[in-house]
Amino acid sequence: MSRKKSQSLDIRISPEMKAFIKLAADLTDRNLSQFVIDSVMLIAEEVINSRMSELEGKGDVILKENSNSAKN
């Protein structure tokens, strides 16, 4: 069975921002990484859906490229 490859995303934030996000993660019973991933994916989906009319034609290519890169 092959394992899914994962990639990292490094960001720099203030200690106060990290503590604030960590509190939200704790309150939703998720670890910090999963909370950030869930939150970012939700916002990304909203942005993409709201812009689909602008991306017609290009949208399928962009989504397909992102899907392919996520598999690698």
pLDDT for the residue 1: 46
Residues 62 and 72: their CA atoms lie apart, in Å, by 16
Kindly list the domain boundaries of the chain, sorted by start residue: 15-71
Report whether pLDDT(38) > 60: yes
Whole-Å CA distances, 25 to 3, 35, 40 = 27, 5, 13
pTM of the model: 0.65
Q: 32 near 21, Cβ under 8 Å? A: yes
Which of these ranges, 10-14, 37-41, 62-66, has the smallest mean pLDDT? Answer: 62-66
Q: CB atoms < 10 A from the CB of 30, how many? A: 15
The reported pLDDT for the residue numbered 59 is 54
The 10 Å Cβ neighbour count of residue 21 is 15
| The pLDDT of residue 61 | 59
